[in-house]
């Protein structure tokens, strides 16, 4: 029973965070990745709209660890500034952009 309650709470938390993710996207990502993540950031990145949450999280965490493409230094400070919760929320928002 305890486990079920936990799962319900985390589902509720995820849907609350999805709203936040939208706000985080607009304030921190929109300027480069464009409306609904539909642009190549600085004409260099892949178009990330509709990527799986896990792919976005993995890729942003990669930047924290110094991985990434030729423009990775642009993403590193942005990635480092995001908490895990904020990253999950913004990734959920981006995954919903199709």
Q: Which residues bind ligand HEC (CB under 6 A)?
A: 28-29, 31-33, 41-42, 44-46, 48, 56, 59-60, 68-72, 74-75, 78, 82, 90
Cβ nearer to ligand HEC, comparing 17 with 68? 68
Q: Judged by CB, which is closer to ligand HEC: 5, or 31?
A: 31
φ, ψ of residue 3 to 5 degrees: the values are: -60, -45
- Please state the closest distance from residue 14 (CB atom) to ligand HEC, in A: 17
First to last CA, the chain: 37
- For the bound state, the minimum distance from the C-beta of residue 26 to ligand HEC, rounded and expressed in Å, comes to 10
Question: What tokens does 37 get?
Answer: 């993540």
What are the angstrom distances between the C-alpha of 95 and each of 6, 19, 65? Answer: 24, 13, 22
């Amino acid at each position: 029973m305890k486990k079920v309650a936990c799962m319900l709470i985390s589902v509720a938390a995820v849907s609350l965070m999805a709203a936040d993710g939208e706000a985080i996207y607009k304030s921190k990502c929109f300027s480069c990745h464009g409306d609904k993540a539909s642009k190549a950031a600085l004409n260099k990145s892949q178009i990330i709209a509709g990527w799986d949450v896990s792919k976005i999280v993995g890729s942003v965490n990669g930047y924290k660890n110094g991985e990434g493409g030729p423009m990775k230094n642009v993403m590193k400070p942005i990635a480092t500034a995001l908490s895990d919760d904020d990253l999950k929320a913004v990734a959920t928002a981006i995954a919903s952009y199709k």
